[in-house]
Structure 1
Amino acid sequence: MAMNNVRSVRCILSSTKEAVKVACQRTYATGKAKKGSKGGGTADGPKASSLSKEIKSTTVVGANILKEGTDPKILPYSEYPDWLWHLLDKRPALSELRRKNLEALPYEDLKRYVKLDNRARIKENNSLKAKN
């Protein structure tokens, strides 16, 4: 009789382990989305853009942040200010500025040197205070 109880307990334990395995498995939805159903799933992948190539090449698509209005048109380069084309230019790092003669630096680089040097000194002082 004790042997039958052990077998039934083993059977219950093995079936619960299988149930736990099935319950803990990560599953994904399969199948095609029905027409008119919720969920937003697509059947075969991303849809092609409904905008023509002409519109994409003449306007900044998605730049309009207002509810009403249209996307701005792309202007010729001569219509934009000169400083715009230098925004992404590489500026010298602090180590590079320290190697140069400070009297010979242009005003913008000198201003950048002071700013970066001050920031580095503040970080160093903070790290020294944090260790004590």
Structure 2
Amino acid sequence: MHHESDMALNSIKSLRNLSVAKALGSYRTFAVGGKAKKGKGGAASDAPKQSTLSKEVKSTTVVGANILKDGTDPKILPDSEYPEWLWRLLDKKPALSELRRKKIETLPYEDLKRFVKLDNRARIKENNTTRAKN
């Protein structure tokens, strides 16, 4: 019987500690989905920040591109002022499997360079995995 009274006393102490911690604000609860509950000021930080830049400035300059202490953000130029290669940077490049299906002799120089790079990389990875197993 003595053992049951010790358990009851310990549970009362832990409940008291829990309520003290809750009163001090160090007790953390979690909402559904695993997100922590926010305090009274939490809702204000979630609101989108209003930009202080005008729409005209945003549409005529590359905002945040300046890295110099005394410099200014560069102006956006018309498309004709930029080099032709710039517009092809985001074009989808062929995968190694696609390049392997084609005849190497017919590949353009850029694709041939890409093929050699990717093929070398694949062979190195394959060699590394076989050496790691042995």
Same fold (TM over 0.5): yes
The equivalences for 1:1-132 within 5 A come to 7=5, 9-19=6-16, 21=18, 23=21, 25-26=27-28, 30-32=39-41, 42=44, 45-132=47-134
Percent pairwise identity: 63
RMSD: 2.7
Structure 1: tracts of 5 or more residues without a match = 34-40
Amino acid at match of 2:13: T
Q: Which runs of 4+ in 1 moved over 2 A?
A: 9-12, 19-25, 27-33, 41-47
Distance 2:112 2:41 in 1: 63
Moved more, 49-58 or 23-32: 23-32
| TM-score in terms of structure 2 length | 0.76
In the TM superposition, residue 63 of structure 1 has moved relative to its aligned partner by: 0.9
TM-score if structure 1 supplies the norm length?
A: 0.77
Change beyond 3 A, Cα 1:43–1:122: closer
Q: How many residues align?
A: 122
Equivalent AA in structure 2 for residue 56 of structure 1: K
Greater shift after overlay, 115-124 or 9-18? 9-18
Q: What is the CA distance between 1:82 and its match in structure 2?
A: 0.4
The structure-2 alpha-carbon separation of the partners of 1:15 and 1:98, relative to structure 1 and needing over 3 Å to count, comes to same
Cα drift, residue 74 of structure 1: 0.5
Measured after TM superposition, the shift of residue 30 of structure 1 is 2.4
> Using a 3 Å threshold, how does the CA distance of structure 1 residues 12 and 51 change in structure 2: closer, same or farther?
same
